[in-house]
């Protein structure tokens, strides 16, 4: 496998690349992660089963779009490929550490500029992708309330139902989500899509975000998720607000936006996330 990866990188880099160092890295519970290098360069490699290649293809497209904004640092895509039984993606390697207060403020500023970047008339993305290892549909919609209700909440509820997790009538809940958002039609912003603190870090060249699940949506979805699992210093929000203050009503919408990720955790892990989802739905008046 590593010989095949080395050969493919040699072709992409247009120079011989012989792996002289290989280090296992912590990479969550989805992919195997490594730092590999020769005498000149080091690269970050994520591995999974060959049939998971599409996950890496959609990640590469999200990284391409985020990089295009030139607002915030993301990993640089190097190569995507397969071996006999594995799929892999190669990115540039940067040593990282946890963001501090100063870099969190900068990250907030940069995220606000990224959210303000570009002009898009609808909500969605040019391809479906993944949030974690869960498929994420992104069909273009003109109404934000319908996009979020149908392709975020209803989608996750359907996946839960298929696993025997019943939260109630999906059509009824979807209608209630539409009602909650019907008067909210925000500017479509390019989102990271999975912005918890584990997908951010500090490098020698400043803060970086990675492992995106991008689409054009309400910027509040990114901000809400930063609050879901904690880990972002107050300076992050100060930096964001200094560039583009959040709209009135964010505090009422953030639990609805975070319900999507909690339902996704129900699908991935079950357990206490089911109880958390039920409590959130009751608070929102969805049950």
Catalytic (active-site) positions: 194
Write the Ramachandran bin of 270: left for phi over 0, alpha for psi from -120 to 50, otherwise beta: left
Residues 6 or more apart from 69 whose CB is under 8 A from it?
Answer: 113, 114, 117, 118, 190
Please give the Cα distance from 68 to 118 (Å, whole number). 10
Say if CB 130 and CB 58 are below 8 A apart.
yes
In the chain, DSSP finds a helix count (H) and a strand count (E) of 10, 11
Residue 48, beta-bridge partner list = 87
How far apart, in Å, do the first and last CA atoms of the chain sit? 50
Say if CB 62 and CB 199 are below 8 A apart.
no
Say if CB 144 and CB 217 are below 8 A apart.
yes
SS3 236: helix
Please give the Cα distance from 202 to 18 (Å, whole number). 29
Say if CB 4 and CB 84 are below 8 A apart.
yes
| Strands, sheet with 32-37, edge to edge from the N-terminal-most edge strand | 21-25, 32-37, 42-49, 86-92, 77-82
């Amino acid at each position: 496998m590593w010989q095949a990866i080395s050969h493919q990188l040699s072709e992409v880099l247009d120079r011989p690349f012989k792996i002289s160092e290989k280090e296992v890295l912590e990479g969550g519970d989805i992919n195997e992660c490594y730092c590999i290098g020769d005498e000149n360069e080091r690269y970050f490699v994520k591995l999974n089963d060959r049939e998971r290649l599409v996950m890496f293809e959609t990640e590469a497209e999200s990284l391409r779009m985020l990089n295009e904004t030139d607002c915030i640092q993301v990993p640089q895509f190097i190569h995507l490929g397969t071996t006999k039984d594995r799929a892999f993606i190669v990115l540039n390697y940067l040593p990282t550490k946890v963001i501090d207060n100063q870099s969190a403020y900068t990250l907030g500023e940069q995220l606000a500029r990224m959210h303000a970047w570009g002009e898009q008339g609808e909500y969605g993305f040019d391809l479906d992708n993944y949030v974690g290892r869960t498929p994420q549909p992104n069909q273009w919609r003109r109404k934000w309330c319908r996009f979020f209700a149908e392709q975020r909440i209803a989608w996750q509820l359907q996946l839960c139902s298929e696993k025997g997790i019943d939260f109630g009538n999906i059509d009824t809940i979807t209608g209630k989500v539409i009602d909650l958002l019907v008067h909210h039609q925000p500017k479509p912003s390019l989102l990271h899509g999975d912005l918890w603190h584990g997908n951010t870090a500090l490098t020698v060249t400043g803060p970086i975000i990675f492992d995106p699940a991008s689409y054009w949506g309400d910027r509040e979805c990114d901000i809400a998720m930063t609050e879901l699992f904690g880990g972002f210093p107050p300076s992050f929000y100060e930096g964001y607000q200094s560039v583009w203050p959040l709209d009135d009503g964010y505090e009422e919408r953030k639990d609805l936006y975070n319900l999507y990720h909690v339902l996704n955790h129900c699908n991935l892990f079950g357990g206490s996330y089911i109880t958390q989802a039920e409590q959130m739905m009751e608070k929102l008046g969805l049950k």
